[in-house]
Amino acid sequence: MILAAETNESLAQMSNTLIYSSMAVYTLAFLAHIAEWVLGSRSKVGRTAAALTRTKGAAAPAVTVQVKQAGGTAVLDKPKVVTRAAAGARDVPDGPGAAGGTVKGDLYGRIAVSLTALAFLVEASGVVTRALSVQRAPWGNMYEFSTTFSTVAVGVYLGFLLLKKNVRWIGLPLVTTVLLDLGVATTWLYTDSDQLVPALHSYWLWIHVSTAIFCGAVLYLGAVATLLYLFRDSYENKLANGGEPGAFARSVLERLPAAASLDKFAYRVNAAIFPLWTFTIIAGAIWAGDAWGRYWGWDAKEVWSFITWVGYAAYLHARATAGWKGRKAAYIALIAFACFLFNYYGVNIFVSSKHSYAGV
């Protein structure tokens, strides 16, 4: 018994070390992402994308790339990227990405992704070690939920990259958010390894909470895309109306995907995850029936989970309603995600509920 306790304590300390180590690697990834954006800011490709963006809504001309070869010059056609996600969307090509098209910028981008992958592996090891130390699912309190949430969010991002999706623009905001999340978790939310109350000793802990974490991670990526869509859409509107954005806005926003591309990505991930969020609420209700003898009791956590569901249902409905596509629907999506965040932080910290026993 004593040996087992000492082993569990050693595993808990190892988990803490791995989490702090992942924060160090995430910091290096953050600096590499910054270098990618800065060193790719004045590339020829970036200037070409800016010129195409300033077509004020007109169809962009075809882009050609000249490649010098021995004995002549080959001209390669580069197709224009055109996306339409909402009524009246402009036909604007996607920007060249964070690297801006420069070799050096792309090098730092690859380094940033590699460091992010390494940090993900280290953090995931910390989460698994925490689970071994308590011999249960590693999401019994807010500290464990936060570390697992950030791990899953980065894992989803890396999964998109493995599928060859153009999502490297998420890298910088994602790594920044993960560092903030882990900083809050290790500073204010840390809880020593311990067993849970009897009500939580159920296989539904694995099903309900794991799906909630995965849903939150995907909804976070959708919220980032939605927020960037609003900035990029304002930028494109300003150009279309003859305005002149500042140097910082041109340097950053013209390298992002077009507003229509960001809008489409946000809609697809939110729509894809909505059925799973519905299942999460249903699974929680079934678990409540087993643990407390009632399926729904208007507990604060249950209420805000339902409010979040209504928010995303309203967003999906708005996307299908004339006059509500685009910015109006985006505002609803951000409000829905704010409800998700309050359901996690606000309800757990400031509201007394049946879920409070999970501890901080």
DSSP code of residue 320: T
Q: Which of 4-13, 167-176, 237-246 has the lowest mean pLDDT?
A: 4-13
Query: Tokens at residue 301, please?
Result: 């956590």
Whole-Å CA distances, 79 to 61, 64, 93, 109, 166: 10, 8, 9, 24, 16
User: Which two tokens mark 35?
Assistant: 């270098």
Indicate whether 210 pLDDT > 80.
yes
Q: What is the pLDDT of residues 293-315, one digit of tens each?
A: 888 888 898 999 999 999 999 99
The predicted-structure confidence for 156-165, as pLDDT tens digits, reads as follows 999 999 999 9
Residue 191 pLDDT level (bands cut at 50, 70, 90) = confident
Dihedral over Cα of 84, 88, 91, 94: its sign: negative
63-69 and 72-78 strand pairing: antiparallel
- pTM of the complete model: 0.84
Q: Does 43 have pLDDT greater than 50? A: no
pLDDT score recorded for residue 2 = 61
Band (pLDDT 50/70/90 cuts) for residue 350 is confident
* Rounded-to-integer distance, Cα 257 and Cα 175, Å: 19
